[in-house]
A and B are shown apart, each in its own frame.
Chain A
Amino acid sequence: MTGKYFGQPVLRLEDKHLLTGRAKFCDDIVIPGMLHAAFLRSDYAHAIIKNIDVTEARKHPGVVAVYTAEDMGDYWKIGPLQVPPPFAIKDAQFNARPLPPIAKDKVRFSGEPIAIVIAESRYIAEDACEDIIFDAEPLPAVIDLEKAWEDTSVLVHDDLPSNMAALVKQEAGDYEAAKKQADVVVSKRFVADHVAGAAMENRGFVVNWDERTQEMTVWAGTQAPLPLRSAIAGRMGLVENQVRVITPYIGGGFGPKVMTSQADDVLLPWISMKLNRPIKWIEDRRENFLATTSERDQVHHCEMALKKDGTILGFKDVFYHNTGAYDPYGMTVPLNTQTHTVSNYRVPNFYTEIRMVFTNEMVVTPVRGAGRSEGVFVMERMMDLAAKELKMDPVEIRLKNLLKKEEFPLNTGVIGQDFVVGVLDSGDYKNNLEKCIQMVDYEKFRKEIQPKARKEGKHLGIGVVAFTEGTAVGPYEGARVTVGNNGKVSVSTGYSTQGQGHFTVFAQIVAEQLNVKVEDVRVITGDTGHFHWGAGTFASRGATIAGSAIHAAAVLVREKIFATAAKFLEVPEDQVDLCEGSACVKGHPEKFISLGDLAGKANPMRGAVEADVKPGLEATAYYAPPHGATGSGACAMIVDVDPETFKVKIERFVLVHDCGTVINPLLLEGQIQGGVSMGIGNAFYEKMVYDENGQLMTASFMDYLMPQATDMPRKMEIGHNVHPSPLNTLGLKGVGEAGALPPSPAFCQAVEDALYEYELDLTESNLNPSMLYEFRNKAIKR
C-alpha cells in the first residue's frame, strides 16, 4: 500500500528546528518571575523518618519556600494508581501501594524525595537542600527478589503481611498432564537484569498558575499529557479546561516519562498556586537514575516439556518481578512478560505465575521492551536448552514450533496488559526466521565459515532467535484534521512525541488523503489545549492507534471537501477530483477551487447555513482497537569472542521484521536500529546494580554503560515482511520496541556457540567480560 506520500521515505519535517538548535525543549522555557525547584532525596533505601529540619534552608538567601510532607497538610495524598489492577484475570491478587508525592514517616528507596526547595535559581535551591537536616533510623533493605517473597523478610510496607505486590496465574490446557506425556523435560533459572530508560533529556516540568485568568499552564516532557492534565486538575480541584498541558520537544521517552503523580507534578502545581509564581524543575541525571523509573529485573523458574522430535508439549514459568518500593503502574510489565513467553511458538499447555514483589528500590515501570524483552529472553533460552538436550539445531527446533500463518487469528488464552485476551492477528513467523537464516547464510556459516574459523583458533558463534511484539493496544486515541484558510492543514492529537517522527508520518497519512504536500500539514502533538482526549505514548501504539484516528479524520475531511466542492463547482460529487492543494472537476483541472478558498466557503460569516452542517473543512475521529496488533520477527547474530579477554565483537547482525503496512521505510529503519542499540546495550553493557543496602551503584553514565558508536555492529542488516494487520484500515502494527527484544537471547546463544570448548550455560540477560569469565569458569570443558 504505497501512495504518493504514504509508504514513501519522506524526510522529517521536524529535523530543521532540531538540527539548528531552534527546537524548544522543556528547559528552554523561560517565564518572567520564574522560580526554580530542587528536591532533597533520601540517601537511605529504607528508614523511618525521625525529623526533617528545614529551618536553616528557609533562611538561605534566595530561597522562597521549603516544603516537606508535613507542610502539605491535606494536600498530601498517596497515589492514585496510574494503571488499574488486573482484576480482569481470574483470582488475580494485587496490593495497591501507589506513590506518595513525597516521603512521610518512612522512606522506601534511595532517592525518594523528602523535601522540596523553591528558590530564585537552581543553584540556590540545591545549596539550600544541603542546609536541611534529615534525621532517620535506617532499616535493613529488601533487595533480593526471591528472599523478599518469603514470610521472614523485612517488610517494605508494614501494613501488609508480606512483600507480595501481586500474584497472578494464567494457564491454558494442563501443563502437569502434558509433562507426564513428555519425552524430555528441561528446567532452568534465569535472571533478566535491571536497566534504565536513560533518555538523553531528563524529565522536566514547568508550571504557571495565572491567578487572573484562573488557568494553569504546564510544560512537561511527558509521554502522557492527558492523564497528566486530568491528574493535576483532579488534585487541584480544577475543571479540566483550567489546566493546559503542553509537551514541548522531548529528548526521548522510552517509557519512564509516561509516569504521572510523581513528586514534581503533584507538588509544583500546588506550590505555583500557593506562591502565585511560575516554577521550573529540571531533573538531573543522578535523579533520573535514582528516582525516576526503570525496568526489567525478574527471576524466572522455567520448565519445558517436549516430545523427542522437539515438539513443545507444555511450558511452565514461575517468575518474580520487582516492582520497586511502590506499584503505581499496576502490572503492565509482568503481564507483558507473561504474554510474550507464549506468543510465537505453539504451546498447547502452559502455566505461568507472576510473583510481583515490593523491594527497597526505585519504582519499576515500562522501559522500551516493557516486559516483552524478559518474556522473549526466557522463552528463547528455553528453546536453546531444549535443542541442546535433544541434540537438535536451534533453528530446527524453532521452525518446528513456530506458529503457522494459517493459525491466525489465534486466541492465546492469556490476558495482557490491556486486560483483554490476546489474539495474534496476522503474520508469518516461520517465514521471518527462514528469511533471517537466508540473509545470514546460516548453512554456509555452519558448514564453511565457522569450521574454518575454529581451525584458525577463532571463536565465532551464531545465535538465531524469533520474537513477537505485542503492540498498539487500546484504549483509543483521537485526532482533529482541519484545512486552514491558507490551504495548509492542521492536525491535532493528544498523542505526544519523543523523537519517533510523528510530525512526519502523521502528515504523510493526511497528505495522502487530501492530496496536499506533506510539508503543508502541520501536526500538533500532546497539547491538551488543542486536543483533549487520549491515553498516551506507550506500547508501540503511535502510528497504529493515533495514526488510524488521524487517517479516519482525514477521510472525513476528504468527504467534506468533495461535498462542499461539488456545490461550488456545480458538478455532482462523483465529478470532483483532488488536484494538489485544490478540488477540481474531473478531467478539467482548470475548473478548480483551492482548498484554502474552499475552507473559507465552508465557514461563511453571514447568510443561512444548512442545518446539521458543521463549519469548516474539519473532522474529528477516534480509533479504538478490539485488542493489540502483534508484530513479529527473527534475529541472527554472529559474534567473535576473545577467549582470553572475553571481549565480544558483533560481526553480523540480521533482523527480519513484520510490522504490517509501512508508512515510512526510512523512519522504520531508524526505529528498528534504535531499538537494537538498546537491546545490545541491555545484552552487554547496561545494568543497574543495587548493593545489599539498597544503594544504586550505577547512578551515573560512568557506571551505567550506554552503548556507544564503536560498540555497534558495522551494519544492521534489516529485512522486512509485510503482513498487514486486519485490525485497522491501514494494516498497521507497531514497531517501536521490536529491535530491543531479540538481542539478549541471540547474544547468549551466539556466545555459547562461540566458546564451543565449554558447556556454557548463560542464564542472565546482561553479560559483560567479567561475567562471561565467571560463567566460563563454572562451565564443564567438553
Chain B
Amino acid sequence: MAQLIPIKVTVNDTVYERQVEPRLLLSDFIRHELGLFGTHVGCEHGMCGACTILFDGEPVRSCLIFAVQANGHQIKTVESLGSPDHMHPLQEAFHEKHGLQCGFCTPGILMTVVPFLEEHPHPTEDEIREAIDGNICRCTGYEKIIESVQAASEKMSSGK
C-alpha cells in the first residue's frame, strides 16, 4: 500500500481533512474523494480546460495538480457559484444566450471566466476570446459562449 499523506483543504468554504496517496490528482480528489462531480475531466493532460477550478482564486487545471499540493489552500469549484434555483449571473447568462450544449466543458469555462470578469468587468470581445482560448468546446463554436460572457459582464456590472 502506498504511503498516505494527511492533507487539509478548503473546498467551497468547507474544510476537508483526508489521507491521500501522493500521486492522487486534485481532479480525482475533488470528484471521487469529495463527491463534487461538477468538475469534469476531459483530457488529463492540461489541454482542454474542463477541469478548471479556482486555486486560491486563480484558475488552474486540477488534472495537472496533485491533491497533496492543495494542502492548506483554498479551492473553489463550479458548485460554489449557484444552485439550479439560484444561479450566478454568469450561469444565468449562459442559459439565456445558449452558451452551452452538452455542458461537459461548461464548468471549466465558468471557473475560467469568474476571475476574468473580476479583473475585466467590461471586457471586449477579443479579450473574452483570449480568456477562454484555453478551454476547448466541441459543441458550440464558441460564438454563444462569447455572447454569454458579454451578457454576464453587463448583468454583473449593473449589479444584477
Judge whether A205 is part of the interface by a CB distance below 8 angstroms: no
Which of A102-110, A424-432, A705-713 contacts its partner?
A705-713
A285 lies within 8 A of B142 (CB): no
B37 lies within 8 A of A28 (CB): yes
A20 lies within 8 A of B101 (CB): no
Q: Which residues from chain A contact B120 at a C-beta distance below 8 Å?
A: none
A200 lies within 8 A of B48 (CB): yes
Q: Which residues from chain A contact B38 at a C-beta distance below 8 Å?
A: 20-22
- CA of A3 to CA of B21, assembled, Å: 58
Q: 1/0 per residue A12-23: CB within 8 Å of B?
A: 101111111111
Judge whether B103 is part of the interface by a CB distance below 8 angstroms: yes
- CA of A25 to CA of B42, assembled, Å: 12
B50 lies within 8 A of A15 (CB): no
Q: Which residues from chain A contact B1 at a C-beta distance below 8 Å?
A: 61
Contact of A673 among B36, B37, B96, B144 (CB under 8 A): B144
If the complex has contacts A11-B96, A710-B130, are A25 and B138 also in contact, measured as CB distance less than 8 A?
no
Judge whether A669 is part of the interface by a CB distance below 8 angstroms: yes
Interface residue total, chain B, C-beta cutoff 8 A: 60
A674 lies within 8 A of B140 (CB): yes
Which residue on chain B has the smallest CB distance to residue A9? Answer: B98
Q: Which of A61, A200, A201 has the most CB of B within 10 A?
A: A200
Closest CB in chain B relative to A257 CB, distance in Å: 11
If the complex has contacts A11-B96, A20-B84, A710-B133, are A673 and B102 also in contact, measured as CB distance less than 8 A?
no
- The residues in B between 117 and 147 inclusive whose CB is less than 8 angstroms from any CB of A are 125, 128-130, 132-146
- CA of A27 to CA of B102, assembled, Å: 15
Contact of B95 among A16, A25, A670, A708 (CB under 8 A): A16
Which residue on chain B has the smallest CB distance to residue A673? Answer: B141
Judge whether B87 is part of the interface by a CB distance below 8 angstroms: yes
Mostly, the B contact residues are: loop
Q: Which residues from chain B contact A250 at a C-beta distance below 8 Å?
A: 102
Contact of B43 among A252, A285, A676, A739 (CB under 8 A): A285
Judge whether B150 is part of the interface by a CB distance below 8 angstroms: no
Contact of A667 among B37, B96, B98, B145 (CB under 8 A): B98
B103 lies within 8 A of A18 (CB): yes
- CA of A274 to CA of B81, assembled, Å: 43
- CA of A667 to CA of B103, assembled, Å: 14
Which of B3-11, B64-72, B104-112 contacts its partner?
B104-112
A251 lies within 8 A of B104 (CB): yes
Closest CB in chain A relative to B63 CB, distance in Å: 10
Q: 1/0 per residue B46-74: CB within 8 Å of A?
A: 01101000000000000000000000000
Judge whether A72 is part of the interface by a CB distance below 8 angstroms: no
Closest CB in chain B relative to A698 CB, distance in Å: 12
A284 lies within 8 A of B106 (CB): no
A499 lies within 8 A of B102 (CB): yes
Contact of A677 among B24, B83, B142 (CB under 8 A): B142
Q: 1/0 per residue A495-528: CB within 8 Å of B?
A: 0001111000000000000000000000000000
Q: Which residues from chain A contact B37 at a C-beta distance below 8 Å?
A: 21, 24-25, 27-28
Q: Which of B38, B107, B128, B144 has the most CB of A within 10 A?
A: B38
A11 lies within 8 A of B95 (CB): yes
Q: Which residues from chain B contact A706 at a C-beta distance below 8 Å?
A: 48, 136, 138
Which residue on chain B has the smallest CB distance to residue A499? Answer: B102
Judge whether B153 is part of the interface by a CB distance below 8 angstroms: no
- CA of A620 to CA of B44, assembled, Å: 44
A670 lies within 8 A of B140 (CB): yes
Q: 1/0 per residue A199-210: CB within 8 Å of B?
A: 111100000000
A709 lies within 8 A of B129 (CB): yes
Contact of B98 among A25, A670, A675 (CB under 8 A): A670
A21 lies within 8 A of B78 (CB): yes
B103 lies within 8 A of A14 (CB): yes
Which residue on chain B has the smallest CB distance to residue A22? Answer: B84
Q: Which residues from chain A contact B142 at a C-beta distance below 8 Å?
A: 677, 708-709, 712
Q: Which residues from chain A contact B106 at a C-beta distance below 8 Å?
A: 18-19
Judge whether B26 is part of the interface by a CB distance below 8 angstroms: no
Judge whether A245 is part of the interface by a CB distance below 8 angstroms: no
Q: Which residues from chain A contact B95 at a C-beta distance below 8 Å?
A: 11-12, 15-16, 19
A20 lies within 8 A of B136 (CB): no
- The residues in A between 649 and 701 inclusive whose CB is less than 8 angstroms from any CB of B are 666-667, 669-670, 673-678, 700-701
Q: Which residues from chain A contact B24 at a C-beta distance below 8 Å?
A: 123
Which residue on chain A has the smallest CB distance to residue B24? Answer: A123
B129 lies within 8 A of A499 (CB): no
Judge whether B41 is part of the interface by a CB distance below 8 angstroms: yes
A678 lies within 8 A of B136 (CB): no
B94 lies within 8 A of A19 (CB): yes
Which residue on chain B has the smallest CB distance to residue A678? Answer: B138
B139 lies within 8 A of A674 (CB): yes
Q: 1/0 per residue A66-101: CB within 8 Å of B?
A: 000000000000000000000000000000000000
Judge whether B156 is part of the interface by a CB distance below 8 angstroms: no
Which residue on chain B has the smallest CB distance to residue A498? Answer: B102
Q: Which residues from chain B contact A202 at a C-beta distance below 8 Å?
A: 42
Which residue on chain B has the smallest CB distance to residue A251? Answer: B104
Contact of B101 among A25, A198, A499, A708 (CB under 8 A): A499
Q: Which residues from chain B contact A147 at a C-beta distance below 8 Å?
A: none
Judge whether A476 is part of the interface by a CB distance below 8 angstroms: no
Closest CB in chain B relative to A193 CB, distance in Å: 18
Contact of A708 among B87, B107, B125, B136 (CB under 8 A): B136
Judge whether A254 is part of the interface by a CB distance below 8 angstroms: yes
Closest CB in chain B relative to A305 CB, distance in Å: 38
- CA of A14 to CA of B106, assembled, Å: 13
Judge whether B17 is part of the interface by a CB distance below 8 angstroms: no
Judge whether A702 is part of the interface by a CB distance below 8 angstroms: yes
Q: Which residues from chain A contact B31 at a C-beta distance below 8 Å?
A: 27-28
Closest CB in chain B relative to A706 CB, distance in Å: 5
- The residues in A between 383 and 438 inclusive whose CB is less than 8 angstroms from any CB of B are none
Q: Which residues from chain A contact B82 at a C-beta distance below 8 Å?
A: 19-20
- CA of A710 to CA of B143, assembled, Å: 10
B79 lies within 8 A of A670 (CB): no
- CA of A61 to CA of B47, assembled, Å: 33
- CA of A201 to CA of B104, assembled, Å: 7
- The residues in A between 2 and 55 inclusive whose CB is less than 8 angstroms from any CB of B are 11-12, 14-25, 27-28, 30
Q: Which residues from chain B contact A285 at a C-beta distance below 8 Å?
A: 42-45, 48
B23 lies within 8 A of A677 (CB): no
Closest CB in chain A relative to B103 CB, distance in Å: 3
If the complex has contacts A254-B138, A674-B140, are A19 and B87 also in contact, measured as CB distance less than 8 A?
yes
Judge whether A180 is part of the interface by a CB distance below 8 angstroms: no
A701 lies within 8 A of B40 (CB): no
A199 lies within 8 A of B140 (CB): no
A15 lies within 8 A of B140 (CB): no
- CA of A22 to CA of B83, assembled, Å: 8
If the complex has contacts A252-B139, A702-B47, are A17 and B84 also in contact, measured as CB distance less than 8 A?
yes
Q: Which residues from chain B contact A23 at a C-beta distance below 8 Å?
A: 103
Q: Which residues from chain B contact A198 at a C-beta distance below 8 Å?
A: 138
Q: Which of A16, A17, A714, A716 has the most CB of B within 10 A?
A: A16
Judge whether A149 is part of the interface by a CB distance below 8 angstroms: no
Contact of B100 among A19, A61, A712 (CB under 8 A): A19
Closest CB in chain A relative to B152 CB, distance in Å: 12
- CA of A674 to CA of B24, assembled, Å: 35
Which residue on chain B has the smallest CB distance to residue A15? Answer: B95
Closest CB in chain B relative to A497 CB, distance in Å: 9
Give me 14 A-to-B residue pairs in the complex whose CB atoms sit less than 8 angstroms apart, sorted by A's number: A17-B84, A20-B84, A22-B38, A27-B37, A198-B138, A201-B104, A501-B101, A669-B144, A673-B144, A700-B43, A700-B45, A701-B43, A712-B142, A716-B141
B residues sitting closer than 8 Å to A (CB atoms) are 1, 21, 23-24, 31, 35-45, 47-48, 50, 77-79, 81-84, 87, 91, 94-96, 98, 100-107, 110, 125, 128-130, 132-146
Known pairs A22-B83, A123-B23, A706-B136 / 5 extra A-B pairs, C-beta < 8 Å: A19-B95, A20-B38, A123-B24, A198-B138, A201-B42
A residues sitting closer than 8 Å to B (CB atoms) are 11-12, 14-25, 27-28, 30, 61, 123, 198-202, 249-252, 254, 284-285, 498-501, 666-667, 669-670, 673-678, 700-702, 706, 708-710, 712, 714-716, 739
